[in-house]
Amino acid sequence: MGNTSAVMEKGMAILLEHLGVLETEQFISAILKEPFDCTEWSREHFADVDLREFNRQAAIYDKANPVRG
């Protein structure tokens, strides 16, 4: 797992690539303004996800996206 700075940098790059500058700013503003419970969100978002399939997909992603130093 990468360090916090590397994860934040990668996350920002993904947001910018997929949302663009304006929507990335809106997303960040919403997160800062609204209380957000990541654990509750994960429970709701992944409630119907098969654990084996999740792990399989995570392994595929990990292999395709190696952590760089």
What tokens appear for 29 in the block?
A: 């503003």
Instruction: Tell me how far apart the alpha carbons of residues 52 and 66 are, in angstroms, rounded to a whole number.
Output: 21
Q: Would you write out the chain's pLDDT as a tens digit for each of its 69 residues?
A: 558 888 899 999 999 999 999 999 999 998 888 887 888 888 888 888 898 998 998 899 888 887 765
Using only C-alpha atoms, the chain has a radius of gyration, in whole angstroms, of 15
pLDDT of residue 25: 94
Each domain of the chain, given as residue ranges in start order, spans 4-64
pLDDT of residue 68: 67
Q: Which residues of 17-29 are buried (b: 16+ CB within 10 A; e: fewer)?
A: eeeeeeebeeeee
pLDDT of residue 56: 92
